[in-house]
Amino acid sequence: MHTLAMHQLVTTNQEAHRAPVQPFTIEQAHMIMQFHVACRAARCPRKAAAVDVLVDGGRMVLSPIRPR
C-alpha cells in the first residue's frame, strides 16, 4: 500500500521528480500518479509526464476549470 508518508520519503530527492528519459507505459503512469499524489503536475515534470500518458491513452480527462 502506498501512503502519503511513503510518498514523502521517496520523493524528497529532486531526482525523483525529473521527467522520464522514455515515455511511461500506462501502468507506469498509474504508479507514478500514486507516488506523486501530493505533487502538482505543473511543478513536477515526472507527474506531468504521467498525466500526459494517461490523457493520451484515454485513461484520464483533465478538468477544464482546475489546473494540473
CA 48, CA 51: separation in Å to the nearest integer? 5
Which residue range forms the structural domain that includes residue 45?
A: 22-59
- 1 belongs to a structural domain: no
Q: How many domains does the chain have?
A: 1
pLDDT per position as a tens digit, 48-67: 999 999 999 999 999 988 76
Q: Is the dihedral of CA 43, 45, 36, 13 positive or negative?
A: negative
Is pTM, for the whole model, over 0.85? no
- 8 belongs to a structural domain: no
- 40 belongs to a structural domain: yes
- 14 belongs to a structural domain: no
- Percent of the chain having pLDDT more than 90? 68
